[in-house]
Amino acid sequence: MRLYLVRHGQTSWNVDGKAQGHTDISLDDSGLAQAYAVGEAFRGIEIDRIVSSDLQRAFQTAEAIQAATNAPAERRRDLRERSFGDWEGMDFRDLAATQIELGLQQGVSFTEVRPPNGESFADVWTRLDPFMDAIEESDERIAVVTHGGTCAVLLARLMRANVDSIRSFRFGNTAVTELERRADGFYLLVRYADTSHLADARALTGSVDGSRR
């Protein structure tokens, strides 16, 4: 079993520093170039299937990988980013301050803060239960195309860490994290947040390697 966690390409809201969450923003021109670059990075790698968030910024990235590998692609709603609810569209600096304040008011940790009409990271952890169950029963080579926060939660779960560990992880646009499941059921981290494929995309478009969600 081999998994490739891939964050989506860049959007205009990444550039502007806005929280996207479930807001369905498409890739910008740089993001399309990044998606093409990560697709080409998968060319020649045997992939059995591609599983993507159903939001278009992720599925556009998945389609580029599909074009290079001919692997079937499917969409899953449970692979979406954390919903920021009423905070979607907010500048991330303001959101961070608001989240800290709300956490202090409620007496909860960072991962338990739930925006109005949104999700906490602990909610995302639980939301991913069906997906985790599905991959545990698989021996396939799967590319999972999703979002920064969701990549962090998936990596923490696969490495058998706790939800608070997600604060240690950052994924640039189209970053690839590769894991191999060993015979004992534990996952080996083969590479983490690799964006080396973006060298050509940067040269062509001047794109940035954004780390916001």
Binding site, annotated residues? 7-14, 57
Report the Cα–Cα distance between both ends of the chain, in Å, rounded: 27
From the CB of residue 194, how many other CB atoms can be counted at a distance below 10 Å? Answer: 19
Tokens, residue 147: 């979002």
Q: Give the H or E element holding residue 200.
A: helix 198-205
From the CB of residue 182, how many other CB atoms can be counted at a distance below 10 Å? Answer: 10
3 state DSSP class of 129: helix
Q: Which residues are catalytic?
A: 8, 81
Tokens, residue 54: 């159903």
3 state DSSP class of 112: helix
